[in-house]
Amino acid sequence: MNTDRKARWAVRQSALPTVVRPCPDCPGTRHRPSGKIRVNASGKLLDVWLLLSCAGCDRTSKVPVHERAHVSSLDPARLVAYETNQPEVVRELTMSAALAARNGYRLDWTGTWELEARTPLYALDDPTPLTVLVGFELPVPVRVERLLMLGLGLSRTAVRRMVADGRIRLPSGLAPAAKAQRDFELALHRPGSAAVAHHPKARVAPGRAGTPFPPRTAEAAGA
Ligand SMILES: [Zn+2]
Average pLDDT, integer, range 6-34: 96
Which residues lie closer than 8 Å to 217 by C-beta, 6 or more apart?
116, 117
Span from the CA of 18 to the centroid of ligand 1 (angstroms): 14
pLDDT tier at 5 (50, 70, 90 boundaries)? confident
Q: What is the pLDDT of residues 147-177, one digit of tens each?
A: 999 999 999 999 999 999 999 999 998 999 9
Span from the CA of 58 to the centroid of ligand 1 (angstroms): 6
- d(C-alpha 218, C-alpha 142), whole Å: 15
- d(C-alpha 210, C-alpha 126), whole Å: 10
Mean of pLDDT over the chain: 85
Query: Phi, psi (5° rounding) for residue 156?
Result: -60, -40
Span from the CA of 62 to the centroid of ligand 1 (angstroms): 13
Instruction: Confirm if 220 and 14 have CB atoms less than 8 A apart.
Output: yes
- The domain limits of the chain are 6-15+111-221, 18-108
Span from the CA of 21 to the centroid of ligand 1 (angstroms): 10
Is the pLDDT assigned to residue 86 strictly greater than 80? yes
Span from the CA of 64 to the centroid of ligand 1 (angstroms): 19
